[in-house]
Amino acid sequence: MRQTNLFTKTRKETPKDEVAKNAKLLIQAGYINKEMAGVYSFLPLGFLVLKKIEGIVRTAMNTLGSQELLMASLHPKENWEKTGRWNTLDVLYKVTDSLERETALGPTHEEIVVPLVKPFISSYRDLPFSVYHFQNKFRMEVRAKSGILRGREFLMKDLYSFHPDKEDFEEFYERAKKVYLDIFEKVGLGELTHLTFASGGTFSKFSHEFQTISDTGEDVIYICKKCGVAINKEIIDEQKVCPECGGSDLREEKSVEVGNIFDLKTKFSKPFELEYKDKQGERKDVLMGCYGIGIGRVMGTVVEVLSDEKGIIWPEAIAPFQIHLLSLGQNEKADEIYKKLKEAGKEVLYDDRDIKAGKKFADADLIGIPYRVVVSEKSLKDGGVELKKRKEEETKIIDIDELIK
C-alpha cells in the first residue's frame, strides 16, 4: 500500500486521559482510535494486525476440529436468570428498550451457546464436539485505563467444548493447552508466556491461564524455575509448589492474562438441562469446557512487551506489512521496486510521501514493520537498497533482485 493513500498519519499527541503504553503507541502510530475509555476503533493498520492474529487463532481452532459460528451480542434476560448471573455478574451491561424489556449485552457466551446446541444433542453419538466464534464482548468496566488490554468492548475468540465424560473432556483440554501455547509462540509471545494454574472457581480445583510477563500486567504470577509453569497469586496460599513438577523455587513476576481455559464441568449444562443418553440409555449431564483468547488484548500485549523507545516492534507473523519501503527522493526507482515486490506477493507499505527523510525514519520506527528497505541516491550508488530489521541496528546494502527473492 502506498502511504500517500493511507488515510491515517502518525500523531504526536495522544488523548490526555490515556495512560496505557499500548494505547499511546498504537494511537500515535495510527493503529487505533480512542472513542471513549475502554472503547477503541481499529484503523486500517490496526485492522490488519487484528486479522493476522485472528487468522492464527482460527487455524489453531480448526486443528482442534472445532466448528466456527457467530453468536449474537444481544442476549435474552431469561438465559442469564437461568444461570443466576443476571444479578451477580457486575460487568453485565443491561439494555432496556422503549417497551421496558431488558436484554443483556454479551460479556461471554455460555448463556447463549448451551441453549443453542441443546436441540442437537440427544444421544452419546452427538458428542463430543466444539464450537467457537470471534465476537465483540461487552463488559461494564467502571474504570478502563489499560488501553486495549482491558476494554468495555473487545474482540474475543471463545470456544466451548461438549463431552460425554471426564476422559473425553480431559483429552480435548490437554490438546487445547498445547494449541494455546502454539498460538502464543506464533504471535511472538512464546518466550514470555507461561501456562499458569489459577482458581477454578467454586466447582473446579484449577483453571489454566496463559500469562505473559509484563510490567504493566494486572496479575502477579510465581514461575517455577524448573519447568516454567506458573501459579497465579490468587491461589499461592493454597498451592505453594509447582502443580506440574513439584518444584518450589519460584520467581515472582507481573503479567498479563492473554488467554484462559476452564473446566466448566456441569456448571452451565445443569441450569439448561443439557443432557444426553449414554449407550445404556441413561440420561447424563453433558460436560463442558471453555477456552478464551482476547484478540485485541494479544495485540496490546505485544505492543507492551516488544516495543522500544522509538516505537512498536511487530513480530513478522502479525505485522500489518512485512516490508516498509522508504523512498528518499527516488520515487521513480522505488515505484519500480514496489511493483516488483507486490508482484512477488510481498506485503509492502511504501512511503512515497514527499516529506523529510528524518520523518520517514521516525515513522518507520514508530509503526514497527519488521523490515525497512530504503531506496536513496546513496543506496543505489552502493549497489542496491538498504535493508534493516526493525529490532536490529545493523543495516546492509543488498541487490534489488536479491531483496525480491
The residues that touch its own copies, with contacts defined as CB under 8 A, are 5-9, 11, 33, 35-36, 39-44, 46-47, 50, 65, 67-76, 90, 93-95, 97-99, 103, 105, 112, 116-117, 119-120, 126, 129, 131, 133, 136, 138, 140, 142, 152-153, 155
Return the number of the residue (75 or 372) whose C-beta is nearest its own copies: 75
Beta strands in 353-402 (DSSP E): 371-375, 385-389, 395-398
Cβ 141 to its own copies shortest distance, Å: 9
- The smaller minimum CB distance to its own copies, of residues 6 and 380, is found at 6
Using the minimum distance from each CB to its own copies, give the nearer residue, 116 or 317: 116
Which of residues 311 and 320 has its CB atom nearest to its own copies in the complex? 320
> What does DSSP say about strands 39-42 and 32-36: parallel, antiparallel, or unpaired?
antiparallel
For the chain, the farthest-separated pair of C-alpha atoms sits apart, in whole angstroms, at: 81
Nearer to its own copies, 19 or 355 (CB): 355
From the CB of 393, what's the least distance to its own copies, in Å? 31
Min dist CB 357 to its own copies, Å, is: 20
- 376: cell is 536513496
Closest distance of CB 305 from its own copies, Å? 23
Q: Determine the Cα–Cα distance for residues 33 and 30; give it in Å rounded to an integer.
A: 8
C-beta of residue 220 within 8 angstroms of C-beta of residue 250: no
Cell readout for 351 is 512511503
Question: Which residue, 131 or 400, has its beta carbon nearer to its own copies?
Answer: 131
- In sequence order, what are the residues at sequence separation of 6 or more whose Cβ sits closer than 8 angstroms to the Cβ of residue 157? 54, 57, 58, 61, 132, 133, 134, 292, 293, 295
Q: Which is nearer to its own copies, 4 or 395 (CB)?
A: 4
- Each as own residue / partner, the long-range contacts of residues 59-65 (CB below 8 Å, 24 or more positions apart, any chain) are 60/179, 60/180, 60/182, 60/183, 60/186, 61/132, 61/157, 61/159, 61/179, 63/179, 64/130, 64/159, 64/172, 64/175, 64/176, 64/179, 65/129, 65/130
**Which amino acid does the sequence have at 272?**
F
**Nearest distance from residue 119's CB to its own copies, in Å?**
7
Tell me the closest approach of the beta carbon of residue 397 to its own copies, in angstroms.
Answer: 33
Looking at the Cβ atoms of 97 and 238, the one nearer to its own copies is 97
In 93-191, DSSP assigns E strands to 93-96, 102-105, 129-138, 153-163
Cell of 268: 452451565
Smallest distance from the beta carbon of 149 to its own copies, in angstroms?
16
CB of 230 to its own copies, least distance (A): 33
